[in-house]
Chain A
């Protein structure tokens, strides 16, 4: 009686399947609930990793709902990555597809924000361009420059107040979430990712920079989205957040 890993694995994630025959307690008796130790280890470790990776979602749902949802998620999306730092990549989409969570429409976007924060935390290090060099270029020439952005930078757009919801659930005494759409820029000046709410047009501005457009063209993209857009504030945010890592005038390499 052999127990192939196909059979063992199938029974791990499905408690309705019988314990494979050929597993014993060491004295020849059927393994019985000893198999459940492995079932439990797998489900608990992966569920806990999900709750650790999405602490605000776990807090919003409460421990029991989170644990129940994690089990459903694991059966629907058995992890494909051996790295727990990448665990739960499909979780935002899974939340969006749960009809019983439809009344909490902001959950998937809050999960995307948490995933982006985690990715920012583990992103590669990069030294920012020195402030003197930026100042030395001068405003006219700067507009013609393309800016290289830090690998830790992330942009998360949402129709929900995801920054406010995140802050309300991570910071003591934070104000109650406003009723507004929020685009969030994540910067990592050193090791801790920091989310910032972007003004209208800010997301289009950052997305244009990410796409390799010049600062001037990115400013135009912001203006096209909102006539009141001014690139000064988001540019200052990028510089203060150590997010500008290279500078190249048009025609040059960054």
Chain B
């Protein structure tokens, strides 16, 4: 476990959105309720051109959160040192307010699957992932946030609950946590647990950022609801309620709106951020 000074300018406890290049002009012209942006690290690992030029411009005006999707921290394979090097390079020149990744795996045996795949919560996986997080924090010389996944199935071999598994990882490595409230709602529906009990069990003091996104509704072999975390629509009402429940316990946090497929125009995305701002304001007001 490494000791790090907190970043000089952490993300504000205010709304942010996932950055999309098509929003560049509108977002920088009139950000509205949006106070910060999150980027997917892997989209900014080219050598130059417009993506990096836009990001430099964006970073001059807004705090940036770098969110990795390709490191495969939950993988059985060792971390890809070349990829870690790319992350180190990006964080070195961009100096983002935050770096986060997922409790998931996305590559195995040299193949990359471009999806966040699930893993069992066992003592063995805990030890492996703690080692991976140590390595990431050592390489980036900063603490990272680890995000809870959205789950469509469970592993019979798991011996830890997800909130306990994440708490223990944070305790062992000193990492922070990224709490995706939509993922909690999706997993709770899919696996049949109570979302508020999950929030109650979560190490909220470790949370450095909250995610919100839209989900789709399908059903499984038995006709049970199966929610799909597709980031392709507005945040659902029960997820907004769960955000309010969470913030009432955690206090204000940076809250991100993720909208990655069927991306709407800037005003629609900004309106979601404004809704998050209202929930944050209610949480900050004395009861």
Contacts of B113 in A (CB 8 A): 9, 12, 42, 46, 78-79
Give the B-binding residues of A (Cβ under 8 A): 1-6, 8-9, 12, 22-29, 31-35, 37-38, 41-42, 45-46, 49, 78-85, 121-125, 151-152, 188, 191-192
Please choose the segment from B5-13, B101-109, B164-172, B263-271 that sits at the chain A interface, where 4 or more of its residues have CB less than 8 A away.
Answer: B101-109
Report the bound CA distance from A125 to B156 in whole Å: 51
User: Which residues of B approach A to under 8 Å, CB–CB?
Assistant: 42-43, 45-53, 70-72, 75-77, 80, 83, 105-115, 117-120, 152-157, 190-193, 220-222, 224, 226, 228
Q: Are A38 and B221 in contact (CB under 8 A)?
A: no
Q: How far is the CB of B125 from chain A (nearest CB, A)?
A: 10
Contacts of A1 in B (CB 8 A): 156-157
Alpha-carbon distance A151/B42, docked complex (angstroms)? 20
Contact (Cβ within 8 A) B117 A8: yes
Do A191 and B154 have beta carbons less than 8 Å apart?
no
Closest residue of B by beta carbon distance from A30: B221
Please measure, in the bound complex, the distance between the C-alpha atom of A41 and the C-alpha atom of B155, giving whole angstroms: 19
Residues of A within 8 A of B110 (CB): 80
Complex Cα–Cα for A45 and B260 (A): 12
Helix, strand, loop or mixed for chain B's interface?
loop
Is A34 a contact of B111 with CB atoms below 8 Å?
no
Q: A3-B120, A26-B154 are in contact. Are A41 and B115 (CB under 8 A)?
A: yes
Known: A1-B156, A33-B221, A191-B49. A26 touches B193 (CB 8 A): yes
Select one of B76, B108, B114, B221 contacting A49, CB under 8 A: B114
Going nearest first, the 10 A-B pairs with the smallest beta carbon separation are A122-B46, A26-B191, A82-B70, A78-B111, A191-B50, A124-B47, A125-B48, A31-B153, A124-B48, A32-B221
Contacting pair A35 B109 (CB below 8 A): no
Q: Do A151 and B48 touch (CB < 8 A)?
A: yes
B155 touching A23 by the CB < 8 A rule?
yes
In the complex where A3-B157, A32-B221 touch, is A85 in contact with B152 (Cβ < 8 A)? no
**B156 adjacent to A22 (CB under 8 Å):** yes
Q: Decide: A27 and B111 in contact? CB cutoff 8 A.
A: no
CA–CA, A188 and B51, complex, Å: 14
Q: B226 is contacted by which of A12, A37, A124, A192 (Cβ under 8 Å)?
A: A37
Q: Which residues of A contact B111 (CB under 8 A)?
A: 9, 78-80
Question: Which of B109, B157, B190 touches A26 (beta carbons < 8 Å)?
Answer: B190
Q: Contact: B114 with A26, CB < 8 Å?
A: no
Q: Contact: B43 with A85, CB < 8 Å?
A: yes
Most buried by B among A5, A12, A24, A45: A5
How far is A84 from B119 in the complex, measured between Cα atoms in Å?
23
Q: How distant is B283 from chain A, measured CB to nearest CB, in Å?
A: 30
Q: Which residue of B lies closest to A125 (CB)?
A: B48
Q: How far is it, in angstroms, between the C-alpha of A38 and the C-alpha of B105 when the chains are bound?
A: 12
CA distance A81 to B80 in the complex (A): 11
CB pair B114–A42 under 8 Å, yes or no, is yes
Contact: B70 with A83, CB < 8 Å?
yes
CA distance A41 to B110 in the complex (A): 19
Known: A22-B155, A24-B154. A34 touches B226 (CB 8 A): yes
Q: Which of A24, A25, A45, A122 has a CB less than 8 Å from the CB of B224? A: A25
A residues in contact with B70, CB < 8 Å: 82-83
Find the residue from A4, A6, A32, A122 having the highest chain B CB count within 10 A: A122
B75 CB to nearest chain A CB (Å): 7
Please give the distance in Å from B115's CB to the nearest CB on chain A: 4
Cα of A207 to Cα of B193 in the assembled complex, Å: 63
Complex interface: chain B residues within 8 A of A3 (CB): 120, 155, 157
